Amino acid sequence: MKPDADYAIIDAIKNTGRKMEDYVKNSTITLVTVDYYFFKKALETLEPSEALELYSATWDGNLKNKIDAYLGKMGIGAVDTVPNLGKITRAFFDERFRPLKPVEDTWDKFSGIVLICPFFEYTRSLYNEPVGCAYHNLLARHGEAFLNLLVDMSQLKGKVKAWQDKSMCKGDAFCRICIERK
């Protein structure tokens, strides 16, 4: 979406008298519900291995497009520094309503934590999905897949390592993302 369209949406929400917080909450629940039902429908319709492959391919196919979009939107010509990798990582998590709070942001290392994840929280509260279920395991995998693809697409491939060592989807109190120069 072009920046003017972003502001047009914000202006339209303000003109309706709705609170931005309510709009964000409703949009988040809609996003989570669509994603979760796609996952569940794939499991009902296909063999389990095919369903997981389809769901993962859908997420993974979107990751490269997202990274390219962030580069253009943020005016980052080349991903050749750890701080640029950190900026793109924050944008990725923030866009999915999982605010990433930087813990360390230096030339050699970026790390951040996610304290709330609506995909995790809403599927637990609305659909009674337990921690560590198949859906949550795939969510954790997609966070790491994003980091690996981002590094592979950067000019720092082979010079940095990226990982997610904590995940709410696996029972941790928060998610932790790290990117570090080797």
d(CA 43, CA 41): 5
Task: Round to whole Å and give the CA distance between 158 and 2.
Answer: 34
Nearest 5 degrees, angle CA 135-CA 138-CA 144? 150
Strands 175-181 and 160-166: antiparallel
- Identify whether the C-beta of residue 160 lies closer than 8 Å to the C-beta of residue 151: yes
pLDDT at 69: 78
Average pLDDT, the chain: 86
Three-class DSSP category at 179: strand
Measuring CA to CA, which residue among 164, 167, 107 is closest to residue 137? 167
Q: Which of 3-17, 75-89, 119-133 shows the lowest per-residue confidence on average (mean pLDDT)?
A: 3-17
Question: What DSSP assignment string belongs to 12-81?
Answer: HHHHHT--HHHHHHHHHHHHHHHHHHHHHHHHHHS-HHHHHHHHHHHHHHHHHHHHHHHHHHHT-----S
Chain segment 111-149, per-residue pLDDT in tens? 999 988 888 999 999 999 999 898 998 888 888 888 888
Q: How far apart are CA 89 and CA 79, in angstroms?
A: 12
Q: Does the reported pTM lie above 0.85?
A: no
Domains belonging to the chain, first-starting first, are 3-181 (3.30.1380.20)
**Residues whose CB is less than 8 angstroms from the CB of residue 151 and which lie 6 or more positions away in sequence, other chains included:** 85, 157, 160, 161, 162, 179
Rounded to an integer, the average pLDDT of 45-56 is: 87
The number of C-alpha atoms within 13 Å of 108 and in the hemisphere containing its C-beta is 2
pLDDT of residue 102: 93
